[in-house]
Amino acid sequence: MKARKGRVVFHIDMNSFYASVEAVHDPSLRGKPLAIAGNPEERKGIVVTSSYEARAKGVKTTMQVWEALRKCPELIIRPPNFQRYRAASLEMFRLLEEYSPLVEPVSIDEGYMDMTDVFRNGAGAEIAGELQEKMKRDLGLPCSIGIAPNKFLAKMASDMKKPMGITILRKRELDTKLWPLAIGEMHGVGEKTAEKMKSLSIETIGDLAGSDMQMIEGVFGVRGRKLHERANGHDLREVDPESVNVFKSIGNSVTLPSDTRNDEKIASTLKSLSASVARRMKKKEVCSSNIQITIRYKNRKTITRSRQLTNPLTEEEEIFKEAYFLFNKYWNEEPVRLLGITSLDVTPLKEAYKQLDLFTYKEEEKQAKLSETMEKLKGQFGEEIFNIKKTKTQKEEKKDVRKGTSLDKDFLFEYWGQKRKHSQDHD
């Protein structure tokens, strides 16, 4: 689809979102070094995000809690409250929709707005300032806003001034504002890609923009061509509010409390992961025809292996069976540090087609009815109704697995569901 000329795109990036939400909930935290982190006694005790006061003392995301405390002894640590963050994010997006019907959430704390049709006499900065002030006044949440003619440049602009920044990035300013930036600062360029770019003498975004596109595409494929185009300020992607309803995979992973070769422990973890993935698939009303397993070893080497299936699946036991098969086939018997299961190629149930022969369809029908009944009972009486024999350790593992859920993907689905319900209520 050809993009409209003269578009005006805002990228809204919430500043230190989790920490900001906690400060709204507890005003005594305002202005203090704050970190959101897991249990410091476990491996998951890493900093998820931190306030700007903490960052000024050297506290960084993914830093171990003990290291963060060494750099900032007065650091306040709070555990994450994802329900609180989801609620705040939904309020944030509702506020954005007051300014434009074209709002595209891309994660729990950022999104795009197409402001072309509401752009008043070129007063982009004034509108952004009004929106920013309203966000801070009504929700207590700071944000940075990038304004540009397309999504990529708007994203880059929002990163240029934090916190509470407003940056306009025009195509005629690329040579002074964008191109001098290090290649690693470019959106879409990860650490490994940046290293490979540097091996080609591409140190800055400007170097990439001026490089030979055929050479870049030859090394990095189609993705390289897109990066080259965006370095030159080209991005035809529309701001699409319905994109939040598009997802291709549902996965979950968990870091084990200790490295293990124990088959019982591994099987138990895979069962918990399978249950989590199955629940999320049912919530989204999808099935999968491709199961992938992730194994990370003690030395941090990580492998992913998948298996294409003849028939799509949705049930916990089916997912576990496939995942356990893949694990036993590809495990090198070294201690396992992390396990993950992902359902790939997900398809809405109503669109899925499954060939059932005369010998299986009755069993399939019976299994579907049983699963539906079990889900209703779980919804009424809780997950533990079928888990009476579980030990305390297994329950704790299940809790850990839920913490490993992809929060952004779940939030986007929740956002879409609430938006659709709101639309239906007002029809």
Binding residues for Mg(2+): 13, 109
Catalytic residue selected from 110, 316, 318, 397: 110
For residue 324, give the 3-state DSSP assignment.
helix
Q: What is the distance between the alpha carbons of residues 253 and 256, in angstroms, rounded to a whole number?
A: 10
Q: Hunting for tokens 């400007």 — which residue is that?
A: 206
DSSP state string for 333-393: SSPEEEEEEEEES-EEGGG------TTTHHHHHHHHHHHHHHHHHHHHH-GGGG-TT--HH
Residue 74: how many CB atoms within 10 A of its CB?
10
Question: d(Cα 166, Cα 154) in Å, to the nearest integer?
Answer: 10
110 is catalytic: yes
Residue type, 178: L
Query: Could you tell me which residues come within 8 angstroms of residue 158 by beta carbon, excluding any fewer than 6 positions away?
Result: 11, 12, 13, 110, 144, 145, 146, 165, 167
Phi, psi of 402 (to 5 degrees): -65, -35
28: tokens are 């005594």
Q: Which residues are catalytic?
A: 110
